[in-house]
Amino acid sequence: MGRAKITMEPISDPKKRKFTFNIRNENMIQKARQLATLCDINVPMILYSDDQETPQIFSPDHDQLKRLIDVYKRTGPEGIKYYALSDYYTDRKIKIEEELVKAKKKNLEAKFPSWFDFLDNCTEAGLRKFAEGLEKKNH
């Protein structure tokens, strides 16, 4: 069986809050290291709590972190793409709608074919005969 869900609200006991922060902080740094190793990317992370005097910085390459901060300062917040949870659902909805349109088109083509494969290899005389047959059915 799974663990009980934790309600997302601030922990009132300062001792428990600090303990939880330290545990989750270590886990975040471990995940950042794994992501950096597995994907061969630089994963800088700045963690700051009101209890700390200075922010905790994690980066395998401090020069890369400085370059990233400089790029951020030059481009500004409007140059950085933020991807929120609502963006994820919007993108997912668009993708599902596109798949639905394709499926509807495929079903329509299966139900009412617009082209017969045997016409691809037909001679001109055969095509004329087929057209005459269609005309006879329309009258």
Question: Considering the domain boundaries, does residue 48 fall inside one?
Answer: yes
Question: Considering the domain boundaries, does residue 3 fall inside one?
Answer: no
What is 26-49 written as a DSSP string?
A: HHHHHHHHHHHHHHT----EEE--
Tell me which residue range forms the domain holding 20: 14-79
pLDDT tens sequence across 90-129: 889 999 999 999 999 999 888 877 777 777 788 888 888 8
Q: Which residues contact 44 (CB under 8 A, 6 or more apart)?
A: 57, 58, 59, 64, 65, 68
For position 60, what pLDDT does the model report? 66
Mean pLDDT score of the chain: 83
Same domain, 31 and 73: yes
Q: Which residues of the chain have pLDDT under 70?
A: 1, 60, 76-82, 139
Same domain, 68 and 89: no
Question: Considering the domain boundaries, does residue 8 fall inside one?
Answer: no
pTM: 0.45
